[in-house]
Amino acid sequence: MTNKEHTLIYDKNGKQICCSLEEKIDRKSPPPLMHSTEGHSHSHSHSHDNEGNWKVYFPAIISFVLLISGIALDYFDIVFFQGWVRVVWYAVAYIPVGFPVLKEAFEALKKGEVFTEFFLMGIATIGAFAIGEYPEGVAVMLFYAVGELFQSAAVRRAKDNIKALLDVRPKIANVLRNKSFLEVNPNDVKVDETIQIKVGEKVPLDGTLLSAQASLNTAALTGESKPQSILKGENVLAGSINLDGVIEVKTTKLFKDSSVSRILELVQNATSKKAKTELLIRRLAKVYTPIVVYLAIAVCFVPYFFVDDYVFRDWLYRALIFLVISCPCALVISIPLGYFGGLGTASKNGILFKGATYMDKLKEVNTMVMDKTGTVTKGVFKIRDIEVFGNYSKEEFMTYLLSIESKSTHPIAKAIMEYPVTGSIPEATEIKEIAGKGLQGIVNGSKLVAGNKKLMTQFNISTPKEIDGIVESIVLIGIDDQFAGYVTIADEMKEDAKETIAAFRQEGIDLIMMLSGDKDSITQQVAKELGISNAKGGLLPEDKLNEVELLKQDTSKTIAFMGDGINDAPVLAASDVGIAMGAMGSDVAIETADVIIQTDQPSKVVTGIKIAKSTQRIIWQNIFLAFGIKIIVLILGAGGLATMWEAVFADVGVALLAILNAVRLQKMKWN
């Protein structure tokens, strides 16, 4: 994405609320703990455009060379390297890395923000110069600058997982106008226009396939590496890559409403809500920083009243060490980086959190409530069983049924028509639809009826008792007033549904409940297959909401709801964590939910829980690491047992360790 391109985000009233993801991320990450966002931007804003260029490291290289040269000249006691020459040498070494920090400290002071890390670093290093510790003053600022460069690299790596989604937005669309295809901006394509996608090109807008078939790479959208085969009339998602042959698609949505644009919008907003842990650290930092400054002042002056051989220079040195150690760089860097890494890792795995708050909340879930159709089942009718009575073969039986059902548009008829037969299907005549019961007609000279038990009763066709215990949708067939057999139609279970339920229990989710608008008998059967003991069917949207509200009366329960339909939106909003199936889910459900599963795989929810738990664990590891080491070195510094070099490690060294720990999250395997 170029700097000139923008993704415009609007609120419900049509007001623009955000610009590009790249700009938004740069404003938001890493969020400061001790000062304003502007105050922390020096290591990002000035180098962002050139962060991939060696020039961004040039100031640090100059300072490093001059510092090492100065230390060598000191060591060999070179005659000319004394007095003002030595001071100027180290001052020149200090300026490339120190000036940006001092500038930020000054800008923050103008805004009334005194206690920033820039202020602490400035006072500590200038103080080191004031007492003649020139090499240490330069070294502290140099290592701080190097730490900032590492921070930028780590944040950039974490951002790449999310920013990669920008690359799936096509830049042009070939639209059919005036009997020829023209290249236009995707924003200019209207609904119901025909677009052409060549091999290797990205689909610019959502639509339905007009060509006979297509092979698409949807990895950027779903995380699935296996190409998807799409048939004529099926949905095609924007951002998919066409792998085989030229295809044509009829658009069903505008570019701004397409799947990829919606996904990008969710990602753009993902870092805007701060998790509770991060907010807590920010509040603590506002208290922590002034306390540290006052303690440093106390370390410098209070011993005057208690120590007989008080030397101001020695105690000032200890106070300066105290200030350097106290800089909370590790927290400033690692906590937001931890959350950002978690969000990026989740998006890479097809899971979009609308905010870090929901990542924290998901790991606390102990009650999982779910819809059935489209959530644990595919929401598509398939033939489950075929039972033939009499002297008909299965092939002959299905030929009769396909003949009469070919004239129907009912979803069950469409499912039956997918059954493969080797021979030709005879033409049915005199077809008549009997409302609420089924169809009748003539096939190969035989009278045929296909429908429910009421239809069989109407034509005095007796049926076996075994059909009374079947809960799935069933089509009964009579040929020449004799019962010929039946076909059961059922929603197909998702491949990973059963293992998902078992994994939920392993993750500590005690209560699993299924709420469905489908028939209770079907709901109970699906629940039984999945090992769910608590299930209710035949529910209206308000009934589902009431069930969840009853569960919420127990404050010990943290409730997540998984759904995909418009009727699930109220429950998604009411639950602690709303999880929507994003690939086939309704727009309303996706807008309402807190977590979006792009692949429609329920097992991804388990992956999301694991990522959330790992993210939280790494963040707390960094917090304890930072505070633990700093407290130890602070005590040593106050007692005169630590030098500026130990202070540098306690500041920059711990920050780098925290960064490496946070980046580790992106290397973990989740499948």
User: Which residues does 444 contact at the CB level (< 8 Å), separation at least 6?
Assistant: 400, 426
Q: Tokens in use for 80?
A: 């000319």
Residue 212's Cβ-count burial label (10 Å; 0-12, 13-18, 19+) is exposed
Q: Which two tokens stand for residue 294?
A: 């006052």
Distance of CA 69 to the CA centre of its chain: 48
197 neighbors 242 (Cβ within 8 angstroms): yes
Helix residue spans in 227-350 (DSSP H): 259-268, 276-301, 312-326, 329-348
Residue 462 per-residue DSSP state:
-
Q: Out of 371, 564, 568, 651, which one is annotated catalytic?
A: 371
Handedness of CA 227, 230, 235, 241 (dihedral sign): positive
Report whether 323 contacts 293 (CB < 8 A).
Answer: yes
Three-class SS of 385-408: EEEECCCCCHHHHHHHHHHHHCCC
The one-letter amino acid code at 663 reads: V
Would you give the DSSP letter of residue 200? T
Task: Please state, in angstroms and rounded to a whole number, the distance separating the CA atoms of residues 15 and 17.
Answer: 6
Q: What share of the chain is helix, strand, coil (3-state, %, to 5)?
A: 50, 20, 30
Radius of gyration of the chain, Cα coordinates, nearest whole angstrom: 34
How many residues does the structure list for the chain? 671
* Alpha-carbon span 101 to 367, nearest angstrom: 49
Rounded Cα–Cα distance for residues 576 and 366 (Å)? 11
Q: Looking at this protein, which amino acid is placed at residue 400? A: Y
Query: Does residue 564 have an active-site annotation?
Result: no
The secondary structure element, H or E, covering residue 64 is helix 58-75
Three-state DSSP at 70 gives: helix
**Residue numbers annotated as active site:** 371
